[in-house]
Amino acid sequence: MSQEISNTILSLPDLDVTSKDLLLIAGPCAVESREQLFKTAEIVAEAGFRFLRGGAFKPRTNPYSFQGLQEHGLELLGEVRNKFNLKTVTEIIDYTHIDLYKDTVDVLQVGARNMSNFQLLKKLAEVDKPILLKRGYAATIEEFLLAAEYLISGGNQRVILCERGIRTFETYTRSTLDLASVPIVKKLSKLPIIVDPSHSCGRSDIVIPISLASLVAGADGIIVEIHPNPPKALCDGLQSLDFQRFMELVSEINHLKPYLRGE
Ligand code: PEP
Ligand code: MN
């Protein structure tokens, strides 16, 4: 294991996340419309989650797929953030966009496809916002932590890691969730690590048990995709929970909470 990992990962980032407070994030894969985002934000706030996710600039594998509402998506995130008092989380794919995110986004997400985009990481190291860094789907745990080092050594210690599964030969899930990375990362660093059950599973029917398993394994939270009408979603509908299933998940998490993290 490299020296850098043990030496430079410091105290818990100043993120308004206490050790007893799970980092719970939910929202649509992509911001699609004002109506979709407002409906979703309302349920996220009602659930007691403090963070709303929603992609505006989407890094799609297929160039013909919906690429996101882009600048307009960021504006809509700004509107719901004020109305529902939620913190917003959205992906940034290009460092020339940093200024666009200034007033409407609280947490900048670096997606799996960009975990090794070191130029992007170097620029984000200079930004005064927390970074949610997702594990690349072909990255080892060490490579994942070294990507975090780019942010930390460049001056931004407010890094939240996110395990979102890696690519294996298995086909029943979209990616294989490497849950062991959660306690391993906890041994190697003091950074918070959350799990993305949606992108790892790729199917909504197993998102609830995998979310709970993640929290039991020691994850500091989850980021989960939800949608008012998953079959009509423009992106990742198959893995998105509808509101009823989301509220079931919330109730399960609330039951589990007293047993987690020494509460
Ligand atoms: C996302 O969160 O919408 C996303 C694209 O995830 P990932 O980078 O993990 O594939
Ligand atoms: Mn998605």
Q: What's the rounded mean pLDDT across residues 6-30?
A: 64
Distance in Å, CA 3 to ligand 2 centroid: 34
Task: State which of 132, 134, 234 you would mutate to test the pocket of ligand 1, scoring each by most atoms of that ligand within 8 A of its C-beta.
Answer: 134
The pLDDT tens digits for 159-196 are 999 999 999 999 999 999 999 999 999 999 889 999 99
Q: How far is CA 116 from CA 65, 111, 132, 240, in A?
A: 23, 10, 14, 26
Q: What's the rounded mean pLDDT across residues 20-46?
A: 95
Of all protein residues, the one whose alpha carbon is nearest to atom 5 of ligand 1 is 111
Of all protein residues, the one whose alpha carbon is nearest to atom 4 of ligand 1 is 111
Confidence of residue 20 (pLDDT cuts 50, 70, 90): low
Distance in Å, CA 112 to ligand 1 centroid: 6
Whether the predicted pLDDT of 102 surpasses 60:
yes
Ligand 1 pocket, CB under 6 A: 29, 55, 111-113, 134, 164, 196, 199
Confidence of residue 21 (pLDDT cuts 50, 70, 90): confident
Q: What's the rounded mean pLDDT across residues 97-101?
A: 98
Question: Residue 140: which residues within 8 A CB-CB, separation 6 or more?
Answer: none
Of all protein residues, the one whose alpha carbon is nearest to atom 3 of ligand 1 is 29
Please report where in the chains the tokens 């210690």 appear, as a residue: 157
CA 259 and chain centroid, separation: 23
Q: Is the dihedral of CA 79, 130, 91, 46 positive or negative?
A: negative
Task: State which of 66, 93, 109 you would mutate to test the pocket of ligand 1, scoring each by most atoms of that ligand within 8 A of its C-beta.
Answer: 109
DSSP 52: E
Whether the predicted pLDDT of 1 surpasses 60:
no
Which value, to the nearest 10 degrees, does the dihedral of the CA atoms of residues 110, 145, 124, 69 take?
Answer: 0
pLDDT above 90 covers a percentage of the chain that reads 89
Of all protein residues, the one whose alpha carbon is nearest to atom 9 of ligand 1 is 112
